[in-house]
Amino acid sequence: MQFSTFEANSLKEAPCVQVIGRYKLEFHLFSKPENQHLMPVVFLGGAFQSFTSFKTEVELVYETHPVILLDLPSQGSNDQLVPELDLKDFSSLLKGFFETQGIEQVIMVGISYGSAMATLFASEHPSFVKRLLVSGITCFRRDTLVSLLEDSLNLLAQGNLKAFAATAVSNLINHNRMQETEVGKTYRRLLYRQVARLNDNEQKRYAQNTQRLLRFDGFNKFPICPTLVATGEFDNFTLPEENAAFAANCADAQFAVIEDADHLSQFERRDVTSTLFYRFIQNQSIEGIDGTRLYQASKYYSQERRLQPRLKLENDQALLIDEITGIEYAIRVADINFSGCQLSLSHNNLTLTENSRNLQLKISGMKNEFHVRIMERNQKNLRCILIQRDVKAADELIELLEGIEEFSPQGMAGLVENLRLA
């Protein structure tokens, strides 16, 4: 291995390239000369992350360990399109990379999409992974999440980048908890613009990576090495209870919740997250870190399930509009939050056909309409997810919800029903 020293602009430099078969892997190797003999720490990022996303973590880990930043085909800034590969193929590529570089064992960190690859590799090739850290672990078959991801792929295929970006941002940020996470309009707009400006290759890579997740059947074996599973307490993309369930299946796992954060905890609570990650990497105790809570994973679901507030509208009259036929159904909004709603039909006259995937919700007194997907029906009652396809509409809904007294954190205690929506 040929290591480089880490400097301020190192992450902006062109990466090294390792070719395995007909596939290319892009990477950076950083180490202080005195640390090159030590076990390296490998970082695998999420769907919209690049090497620069790990600047804080690299600066910290570089002091004590060699660092490897790695982009597999179609991941990060690696522009190679590989629709034929699945997640298990990526695990094989990782093995090939380590063998080619003469690396016998690593400490591995996987974030969001990268967590799936890191976990599969650690499970299938346990001798290579000394310690494993995963955050916001993906690959769960929750029906609402599948619907949201499929919808995003459809919007992308249609070339509707604005709607796609609005949907992607709405999925990643818990808009029901922005007071706690302190995510502001500026941050949301910047993220939206970043996604809306994806070029053709980036769009294809996102689609392929998402399709890989949707094709993945789930884990049939789990890591045996010391493992840390971390999640934001308000993560509504990969739910804390799902992360806890995964940790409970590992042979030697700790489960940590990052307070006042959602799926983007690495950015929203950077100092807390970096401290948590670094202590685990160093094999130090992770107890007592301000801004985190540790749980016995097998008991998390019953004790600490994160609840989303469901709110009552003062004017609950609305219309459910079939975009295909133009038929309008009079309904009442029983309760609502940013992610979904319970609707009550005035008459039992809604036929669930293919058109039910093309429904708009028009709430009395609101300028914008909202795309809804029916997930469950019980006679006249409908459980729906809201698919946010328009930034202005999303902002109008946020303003409406914030105007309801119970939307404040102090008033959420009595609103304990959980939509369990992504």
The domain segmentation of the chain, as residue ranges, is: 10-140+218-304, 143-176+185-211, 317-414
Class of domain 317-414: mainly beta
pLDDT at 355 over 90: no
pLDDT for res 408 = 41
Which of these, 290, 366, 292, lies nearest to 333 by C-alpha position?
A: 366
- 229 contacts 137 by C-beta, under 8 angstroms: yes
Which of these, 287, 318, 276, lies nearest to 61 by C-alpha position?
A: 276
Residues with Cβ within 8 Å of 13's Cβ and at least 6 positions away in sequence, in order, are 28
Give residue 325's pLDDT band: very low, low, confident or very high (50, 70, 90).
Answer: confident
How far does the chain reach from its first CA to its final CA, in angstroms? Answer: 42
Give residue 308's pLDDT band: very low, low, confident or very high (50, 70, 90).
Answer: low
pLDDT at 83 over 60: yes
CATH T-level fold of 10-140+218-304: Rossmann fold (3.40.50)
- 297 contacts 247 by C-beta, under 8 angstroms: yes
Q: What are the CA-CA distances from residue 1 to residues 22, 43, 101, 326 (Å)?
A: 21, 17, 6, 63
Q: If DSSP codes are grouped into helix, strand and coil, which group holds residue 383?
A: strand
- 250 contacts 222 by C-beta, under 8 angstroms: yes
pLDDT, one tens digit per residue, over 9-48 is 999 899 999 999 999 999 999 999 999 999 999 999 887 7
Backbone angles phi, psi at 171, to 5 degrees: -70, -40
Which of these, 123, 111, 306, lies nearest to 218 by C-alpha position?
A: 123
pLDDT for res 176 = 87
Which neighbouring-strand residues pair with 24?
19
pLDDT at 410 over 60: no
Q: Could you tell me what percent of the chain has a pLDDT over 90?
A: 71
- What is the pTM for the complete model shown? 0.89
